[in-house]
Amino acid sequence: MSLSDSLYQEVLLDHYQNPRHHGKMEHSDLHEEGVNPLCGDEVELFLKLKGDIISEISFVGKGCSISQASASMLTDSLYGKTITEAKTLLHEFKGMLLEDKVPNFSEEYEDLESMEAVKKIPARIKCATLAWNTLEKAIGK
């Protein structure tokens, strides 16, 4: 199996083609835009909170399959979770890509593991982390 086969496996292409939680959200509690200026990839995140819980989450964006699939996986993973859980997952996801850590995702987050292949293409890591950097800005506020 070649690198691109493993990278562009079904799960990534499925998220790209059928993005989860896609669309703008009115009256969101948290809203942040992220852009990679060199390639022009864009992700816009919307979150609604009930206490500490992410009760609603959505995104819109444009760009390559990796950037958009990653955003779809992010929203899918965090729907119904707490901000604390979001921070833990964010830490783990970025650790996997930026610090070469072996991810230890629980079963419900297994789609995220498909992003590990991006590590072998350094030029594309910024695509995979765009949505997550955007989340970091959103919840850091």
Q: Provide the token pair at 100.
A: 């070469």
Q: Which residue has the tokens 């992003």?
A: 115
**Per CB under 8 A, 7 contacts other proteins:** yes
Residue 13 or 49 with smaller CB distance to other proteins: 13
**Per CB under 8 A, 49 contacts other proteins:** no
Q: Which helix (H) or strand (E) holds 71?
A: helix 65-78
In the set 23, 38, 99, 107, which binds other proteins (CB under 8 A)?
38
C-alpha triplet 47, 50, 80: angle, nearest 5°: 65
Distance CA 103, CA 85 (A): 15
**Per CB under 8 A, 76 contacts other proteins:** no
Hey, which bits of the chain come out as E strands?
A: 30-36, 41-50, 53-62
With CB under 8 A as the contact rule, which of the stretches 14-22, 25-33, 80-88, 96-104 interacts with other proteins?
Answer: 14-22
In the set 24, 40, 80, 140, which binds other proteins (CB under 8 A)?
40
Q: Enumerate binding residues for other proteins (CB under 8 A).
A: 2-5, 7-8, 10, 13-14, 16-17, 38-41, 62-66, 121, 123-124, 127
